[in-house]
Structure 1
Amino acid sequence: MSPTNGENETQPLLNGHHSQNEDQEPEILSFSQDDPENPLNWSLSSKYLQTTLITFFALTCPLASSITAPATPNLQESFPGSTRQSIIAGQAVFVMMLGIGPLFLAPMSETFGRRPVFLICLAGFTILQIPAGLAPNVGSFIAVRALAGFFGSVGVANGGGTISDIFERRERAKVLGVYLLGPLLGPSVGPLVGGLIVGGTGSWRWIFVLTGVLGAVATVVGWFFLFETRAVTLLQKRQRELERSNPGKRYVVEGMTDQGLLEKIKGNSTRAVKILMTQPIVSTMSLYQALVFSSMYSLYSQYTSIWSAPPYEFSKKQIGLTYLGPAVGFIICAVFIVLFIDKVYGALAERNGDEGQPEYRLPMANIGAVFLPISLFWFGWAVEKNAPWPVPVLATMLFGASQVSIFNCVQTYYIDAYEDNAASALAAGAFLRSIVGGIVPLFVSGMFEKLGYGWGMSVFGFLGVLLMPAPAVFYWIGRRGTEDGAYS
């Protein structure tokens, strides 16, 4: 289905070109069902090209959030007087901006279109890699990283909207499964790449050469191959062309409102917060995602300390390679989810008289609900007991699989359940998980020093056990929210 405005991003446009009393009333512009310019009617090759591009954007920018993790000791040496916490703050502010940015960038894309917002933000992200790599002190480093995180959040802010623009509901789950690999896989691939760069060059500054190149590639490729997908923006272009060729005749784009950008930003932000605070399933599942992100970034912030100490004593390159564990888990589970999420949905809908429900996206999240605490307990106590390195690495594979299972199913659920306000529901989840995921790693070093890695990781594990029933519970009781109008 096709978006119309900030209040209702995915509401379908009425079909047909029609006018009422053409001499007095403006002609209403909308896409007919078979209009070739309607993004829903584009060829599969064009749709897959757009999906590939936004997945690349969503991978590149979050990759930069954690790429400096293996370089923490090097950054401390470069910035005299800095502390480990202040260096980790450079990661924290980036991650937090990944959650704050969508509150602003999503309504901007609803005002100016997807393409210009993507290109401007990608260009801004690319340019900011230069001062980040040349930062003379930790203060300027943190400030630049915060700005880069804001611009880099565009992949998270607009990716889901783009997919809703070009794919019908029945097609969306698998495509989202591929796209969501980007914001999940990026933070795991980042430290792997960062560790290899620092281990090979001895300098953290080369990290930002790479992120700058990746950002430049994304910007240039986007300039040539990224199309505008928002239906209202395309119809506005048609409106201008018709007004030029038919002077004196008025045209109005269906779905347009007089709401200004500031009103849209305020509405998007307040609506996201309202959904987060008033919808139990959004608040609970967003809290679940926050646990996933906080444990992930906390774990990654400790990797150098864990793997460089006895009995492992890994080199920086070897430390980088340990990040392959969660990445492999990501990919294996993502393939499984993509292959079976629609089949599970279809089977449950068939049992319900062919009537699908948003909750039918949740059963596969139970896989991650079980894997998450197991992997956290497993990793923490394997490291605490100095187990051979393959033992904790295998735990991280299970950890990566749990993240994909929870994240993918929950995001797809949000889009199905809060269809009219899908952007706000997604922004609500992104905001909470990014804020928590950014702040928690700043404080875990002290916890691990006091409790050790066994009990320290067990704290996250116990929280995982506490939240484990959530997907199953909301699968059974979630429809009550629909009956009460909670999805409206």
Structure 2
Amino acid sequence: MADREKACEAPAPEGDDDAGLDLQQTRSNRESMKHVGRTVSQNGYGVSHEQNHDEKALEAGQPEKDPYEVGWDGGDADPWHPRSFNKARKWLIVFIVAAGSLTVTCASSIYTSTYVQMEAEFHNSREVSILGLSSFILGIALGPMFLGPLSEFFGRRPIYLVSWTMYVIWLIPQTVAKNVATMIVTRFFDGLAGSAFLTVSGGTVGDMFAKDELQLPMAAFTIAPFIGPSVGPIVGGFINQFTTWRWTYYVLIIWAGVMWVAIVLLVPETFHTILLRDKARKIRKETGDNRWLAPTEKVQKSVFKAVLISLQRPFQLLMFEPMCLFLDIFCAILLGILYVFFGAFGIVFGTHHGLEPYQVGLTFLGLGLGMIIGMLTDPVWHRIRSGLIAKLSQETGVPDSSEPEFRLPPAILGSVLVSIGIFVFAWTSYPSVHWIVPIIGSAIFGVGNMLVFSGIFTFLVDAYPAYAASALAANTFVRCSFAAVFPLFGAQMYHRLGDQWASSLLAFLTVAMIPFPYIFFKYGKKIRSNSRYARS
């Protein structure tokens, strides 16, 4: 993945060196892979390193070909190459990894539907119950910083197998827990293990599809972790309405178990670097000639150094890059509000509108539908960006001239929509107003949420091409940290301020962030010119 973290405009940064793509590929193929990498990061969780030793060697003037260097025979048509898979197999793998991402984020929120029954059995307060939600999200925040670099050394499939096995195992003590402390601790480790699919699986999708084929499968993968939190209360609402809360975890174990079988049987290794290494090993075994080597086998790599860089660089970006910091805070506020809604919906629709638990779960359909609508507007933003590129190309005389700021228009509109949506939800949440109206407000928030996330994620990848993984890791950490903390005070806030003013307070936070996407759209190029990390 390191080769996919670099952009063609940026020089290689100093630091850890990772093996990259086969050096026998043409320059156009390398540029294509860079484009792919910048696309696979759109779900905002992907983490890997920023360097490619082999391309640095090329830049230093070393020859592109070594007669004993193992590469792809026939390019993408090589049977070892994951792009040689037939279309049905590729889409099956996309469905499995997307379902894995949805499963994890669904598990984060389905827990909220167990509060009433669990508290009656364990005799704990609501605040203590919410700690189980926060610990799971905290695990998701920390996992990518370790699992991303580890996948560079060991491949994607081993990370899937080990982490998903642990994910299933950590569900078991939640199912049979005798106290709430068990729930809180085991949910942290469950989120940590489950974060692998949020971290690594975008790379799997990018491994299998060429640049001109990638948009649709990546859209399917990208939306999955965002609609998962909306699916959780819907499923959990029905379970906890008609049976005991422990069946929530029986269902999750069955679901995760089916996923485990699918991963074991149907998801192969797709990371190009690892496949070339395996191919080289086979050639050496068949020929007895140890001169045959894959590019990665020529490079000395340190797991410890890779993880250290993965841990420190995101915080460097937060400290020294104001665009990264403010946009990350905006994303964090939005995700925090989303997780506050898991408690707020129960108060608004359950307590005040008198809906049953399964009906409260169904109210999240508006939020989920809004996010899907937001994702479906992607072609519109693609045309707007193409227009901006054409205008800049005409002004500069350089074909296909682009700027990272051209990624921000969806975030500009989305920032307005999220505020409107929350205000609509806030001031229509009176019991005298039909329940569909606040749901419409939540749908507007969902559309804006998706637009802000997609705009900011793609901007970060484009503005920090040599450090894209670290930029997204920083975003993930800040975003999930807010999501872990916000629910802890959400319920008290709604009880003390009332539905209308509690929601309005959240809306005012988003109003304060509205200017930033526009400011960075207008002045981002100037800000980048003084940056030590951004593309200037």
Please give the TM-score of this superposition, normalised by the length of structure 2: 0.83
Tell me how far apart the structure 2 counterparts of residues 164 and 426 of structure 1 sit (CA, whole Å). 17
**Secondary structure, in 3 states, of the residue corresponding to 1:443?**
helix
Query: 1:296 is matched with which residue?
Result: 338
Q: Does the 8 A contact of 2:25 with 2:75 survive in 1?
A: no
Letter in 2 for 1:328: L
5+ unaligned residues in a row in structure 1: which ranges? Answer: 19-24
Q: 1:326 Cα shift? A: 0.4
5+ unaligned residues in a row in structure 2: which ranges? Answer: 6-14, 27-53, 55-65, 394-399
Tell me how far apart the structure 2 counterparts of residues 238 and 359 of structure 1 sit (CA, whole Å). 41
Give deviations 1:192-236, integer Å, cap 9, x for gaps: 1101110121x1111111111121121111122212221111111
Question: Does 2:266 correspond to 1:225?
Answer: yes
Query: 1:410 is matched with which residue?
Result: 456
Out of 102, 105, 128, the residue aligned to residue 59 of structure 1 is 102
* Shift in alpha-carbon separation, 1:172–1:248, aligned structure 2, 3 A: closer
Q: 1:40 Cα shift? A: 5.3
Query: 2:118 is matched with which residue?
Result: 75
Give deviations 1:109-155, integer Å, cap 9, x for gaps: 11110111012211211222221111100001111111110011112
Q: Does the 8 A contact of 1:4 with 1:232 survive in 2?
A: no
* Shift in alpha-carbon separation, 1:410–1:42, aligned structure 2, 3 A: farther
Give deviations 1:87-123, integer Å, cap 9, x for gaps: 1111111011111110111011111101110122112
Tell me how far apart the structure 1 counterparts of residues 218 and 283 of structure 2 sit (CA, whole Å). 35
Q: Does the 8 A contact of 1:92 with 1:439 survive in 2?
A: yes
Query: 2:533 is matched with which residue?
Result: 486
**Secondary structure, in 3 states, of the residue corresponding to 1:68?**
helix
Q: Does the 8 A contact of 2:467 with 2:533 survive in 1?
A: no
Q: Does the 8 A contact of 2:148 with 2:199 survive in 1?
A: yes
Tell me how far apart the structure 1 counterparts of residues 445 and 115 of structure 2 sit (CA, whole Å). 23
* Shift in alpha-carbon separation, 1:449–1:204, aligned structure 2, 3 A: same
* Shift in alpha-carbon separation, 1:142–1:26, aligned structure 2, 3 A: farther
Q: 1:86 Cα shift? A: 0.8
Letter in 1 for 2:93: Q
Give deviations 1:445-479, integer Å, cap 9, x for gaps: 22222211211111211111111122222222223
**Secondary structure, in 3 states, of the residue corresponding to 2:498?**
helix
Alignment of 1:27-426 (within 5 A): 27-31=68-72, 34-35=75-76, 36=78, 37-39=80-82, 44-80=87-123, 82-168=124-210, 172=214, 174-201=216-243, 203-255=244-296, 257-310=299-352, 312-337=353-378, 339-353=379-393, 354-384=400-430, 386-426=432-472
* Shift in alpha-carbon separation, 1:84–1:166, aligned structure 2, 3 A: same
**Secondary structure, in 3 states, of the residue corresponding to 1:383?**
coil
Letter in 2 for 1:407: F
Letter in 1 for 2:339: Y
Give deviations 1:321-376, integer Å, cap 9, x for gaps: 11111011112222122x33332222221222122333222211222111111111
Tell me how far apart the structure 2 counterparts of residues 168 and 480 of structure 1 sit (CA, whole Å). 34
Give deviations 1:247-286, integer Å, cap 9, x for gaps: 3523443255422222211111112222233222222221
Letter in 1 for 2:434: P
Q: 1:444 Cα shift? A: 1.9
Q: Does the 8 A contact of 2:170 with 2:186 survive in 1?
A: yes
Letter in 2 for 1:455: W
* Shift in alpha-carbon separation, 1:172–1:262, aligned structure 2, 3 A: same
Tell me how far apart the structure 2 counterparts of residues 10 and 464 of structure 1 sit (CA, whole Å). 41
* Shift in alpha-carbon separation, 1:294–1:332, aligned structure 2, 3 A: same
Tell me how far apart the structure 2 counterparts of residues 434 and 191 of structure 1 sit (CA, whole Å). 19
Pairwise CA RMSD of aligned residues?
Answer: 2.6
Q: Does the 8 A contact of 1:15 with 1:33 survive in 2?
A: no
Q: Does the 8 A contact of 1:119 with 1:222 survive in 2?
A: yes
Tell me how far apart the structure 2 counterparts of residues 32 and 465 of structure 1 sit (CA, whole Å). 55
Query: 2:32 is matched with which residue?
Result: none
Question: Does 2:31 correspond to 1:14?
Answer: no
Tell me how far apart the structure 2 counterparts of residues 7 and 39 of structure 1 sit (CA, whole Å). 27
Q: Does the 8 A contact of 1:14 with 1:31 survive in 2?
A: no
Identity fraction in percent: 28
Tell me how far apart the structure 2 counterparts of residues 457 and 10 of structure 1 sit (CA, whole Å). 49
Query: 1:21 is matched with which residue?
Result: none
Q: Does the 8 A contact of 1:40 with 1:166 survive in 2?
A: yes
Tell me how far apart the structure 1 counterparts of residues 481 and 415 of structure 2 sit (CA, whole Å). 21
Q: 1:13 Cα shift? A: 4.3
| 477-486 or 93-102, larger mean C-alpha shift | 477-486
**Secondary structure, in 3 states, of the residue corresponding to 1:314?**
coil
Out of 495, 511, 514, the residue aligned to residue 449 of structure 1 is 495
Tell me how far apart the structure 2 counterparts of residues 129 and 485 of structure 1 sit (CA, whole Å). 44
* Shift in alpha-carbon separation, 1:300–1:68, aligned structure 2, 3 A: same
Tell me how far apart the structure 1 counterparts of residues 25 and 206 of structure 2 sit (CA, whole Å). 20
Query: 1:22 is matched with which residue?
Result: none
Q: Does the 8 A contact of 2:20 with 2:295 survive in 1?
A: no
Give deviations 1:13-53, integer Å, cap 9, x for gaps: 433599xxxxxx99333446724234456555444333322
Q: Does the 8 A contact of 1:133 with 1:209 survive in 2?
A: yes
* Shift in alpha-carbon separation, 1:474–1:434, aligned structure 2, 3 A: same
* Shift in alpha-carbon separation, 1:368–1:8, aligned structure 2, 3 A: farther
Tell me how far apart the structure 2 counterparts of residues 482 and 234 of structure 1 sit (CA, whole Å). 37
Give deviations 1:304-337, integer Å, cap 9, x for gaps: 2222223x11111211111111011112222122
Q: Does the 8 A contact of 1:289 with 1:406 survive in 2?
A: yes
Q: Does the 8 A contact of 1:28 with 1:253 survive in 2?
A: yes
| Alignment length (residue pairs) | 478
* Shift in alpha-carbon separation, 1:31–1:196, aligned structure 2, 3 A: same
Tell me how far apart the structure 2 counterparts of residues 406 and 171 of structure 1 sit (CA, whole Å). 25
* Shift in alpha-carbon separation, 1:297–1:16, aligned structure 2, 3 A: closer
Tell me how far apart the structure 1 counterparts of residues 405 and 90 of structure 2 sit (CA, whole Å). 27
